[in-house]
Amino acid sequence: MIYKLLHDSLLILMTFFVLTLIAEGVLPGIISNHFGLYKITIVILLNILAILGIKKNADLPAENSINKKIAWPLLFILALLIFNSLLKLNIFLILTILTAILASGYFIFKVFQEEY
């Protein structure tokens, strides 16, 4: 039951984190003036560690690790946030940096997915 609840709390925390990042992107300081974003990050990390710990100890079955339906909108939001943070630069420079970030992100993801 705790394992299931941890998944729910992770979903809530991640939703909160993404919404916070979007809000901070549009209006810097709107959330971070009230409390530090590092606190959410630490709680998310602890949550993930707790899920992994329980899963390992109780030998629970793995859930579908990648949900493509959610991954694409999240990638789109990520691209928008990066674009927003570079807004004052030249448009071609922004597009180059954005492409480089997404490409390197994709290859890093591929490396993690490799099976030995």
Partner 1 sequence: MWFDLTKKVSLNKRDLKSYKVLQTSLYGLSFLTAAYLISMILFPSQFFEFSFNNSSAKSNTLTAVNINDSGKLKNGAVAVGENLSFTASSPSFFSKAVIQFELDKKSKATDMDTSKVSVRKAYRSFFYPDADPTEIENYIQARSSQIFGDGSLASYGDSIYVISDGQAMPIDSPETFIALGYDWKNVMPIDADQFAIYTKGSLLTLYSAHPNGTVFQTDTDKKYIVKDAKKYLLPADFTTIAAVRVSEKSFEIAAGCQLQKNWLTLRKYDCSLPLDQLQNMPGKDYMFDSKFSNDIQLQAINVELKRDMTFSNFNLSLNNLLKRSKENYVPTN
Point out which residues bind partner 1 (CB under 8 A): 1, 3-5, 7-9, 11-12, 16, 26-28, 30-31, 34, 60-63, 87
| Cβ-based neighbour number of residue 6 at 10 Å | 20
| Cβ-based neighbour number of residue 40 at 10 Å | 17
Integer CA distances (angstroms), 47 to 10, 21, 30, 67, 87, in order: 6, 19, 25, 19, 34
Q: Toward partner 1, which CB reaches closer, 59 or 114?
A: 59
Smallest distance from the beta carbon of 11 to partner 1, in angstroms? 6
Of 25, 7, 5, nearest in space to 62 by CA = 7
Q: Toward partner 1, which CB reaches closer, 5 or 111?
A: 5
Tokens representing residue 98 in the block: 């954005």
Smallest distance from the beta carbon of 34 to partner 1, in angstroms? 5
Smallest distance from the beta carbon of 48 to partner 1, in angstroms? 14
Smallest distance from the beta carbon of 3 to partner 1, in angstroms? 6
Q: Toward partner 1, which CB reaches closer, 8 or 114?
A: 8
Q: Toward partner 1, which CB reaches closer, 27 or 100?
A: 27
Helices (H), 1-116: 2-26, 37-58, 68-85, 91-113
